[in-house]
Amino acid sequence: MHAEADPWLTAVLVAALMAAAWGIGWRAGRGIRARGEKPLETKLDDAALALLGLLLAFTFSMALNKYERRREAIVTDSNAIGDFYTCASLIPDPLRPRLQGVIRDYTRLRLEIGTMPSPSREDVARALARFDAMHGRMTELVDQAIVAGTPIAVPLTNTLNGVTSSQASRLAALRDRVPPSVVFLLAITATLAAGLMGREQGSSPNASLAGTAAFVLIVALTIGVSLDLNHPTAGVIRVSQEPMERLLASMGG
């Protein structure tokens, strides 16, 4: 289960594995019943289902926390850029329009990369290179304003530092994912639990195919939503870019 794999494709794969495991277990259970043997009375089925439920809850909670961290990072980033833009509006010409122009371009690029459907590694690398270049240009213009004797040198420098710091925090939030080992363990547990359920139902005269199908569907949907929350650039659940959109609109961009 690679970290960059499509969330819903992974969910479908897990559902297929569960269905196959259930079929194998059901055939084993039917064999036990045909031989007139009594199935082993153990608590393995209950333990496997309890462990699966625990892992599903743990994975969903972890993915949701990472999603919330990315959402908070966007709000923090937009606030930092807005503060810097406000300070830039207080310095005299000709530096004011130059610095404001760079900040608008920076915000526009932020919004562009945030709304890109599925940016590749190359897209992200190019965007990071452009961000670094813009940081360098901002620093150069702020330095010129300080040399020119601007009275807001301290707030201007502090807000520039806030922009660069929020960039690092947002990048860290984007790269923070649920470990692949957790997803792999979840898939294995779901598959084994389905196999044990199939064996139990195969040895029983009252097997419920509809109930099994519903169980597999619920588990697959939960895994799909968890992985979708975990992935910032793939799937259908994306962090809203409204704070950045409102900021760019307030800049006249």
Q: How far apart are CA 149 and CA 18, in angstroms?
A: 69
Q: How far apart are CA 235 and CA 198, in angstroms?
A: 31
Q: What DSSP assignment string belongs to 131-149? A: HHHHHHHHHHHHHHHHHTT
* Confidence (pLDDT) at 185: 93
Burial class, 15, CB count within 10 angstroms (exposed 0-12 / middle 13-18 / buried 19+): buried
* Confidence (pLDDT) at 98: 95
Phi-psi region of 239 (alpha: psi -120 to 50; beta: other; left: phi over 0): beta
Average confidence (pLDDT) over 206-229:
88
Alpha carbon 248 to its chain's center: 24
**40 has a pLDDT exceeding 70:** no
Please state the pTM of the whole predicted model: 0.82
**2 has a pLDDT exceeding 70:** no
Confidence of residue 82 (pLDDT cuts 50, 70, 90): very high
Q: How far apart are CA 19 and CA 17, in angstroms?
A: 5
Q: To the nearest whole number, what is the mean pLDDT of the chain?
A: 88
* Confidence (pLDDT) at 208: 72
Between 63 and 237, whose confidence is greater? 63
Where b means 16+ CB within 10 Å and e means fewer, 27-52 reads: ebbbebeeeeeeeeeeeebeebbebb
Residues 101-146 pLDDT 10s: 999 999 999 988 888 777 777 888 888 899 999 999 999 999 999 9
Domain spans of the chain, in order of start: 7-250
* Confidence (pLDDT) at 191: 94
Residues 185-214 pLDDT 10s: 999 999 999 998 888 888 777 767 788 889
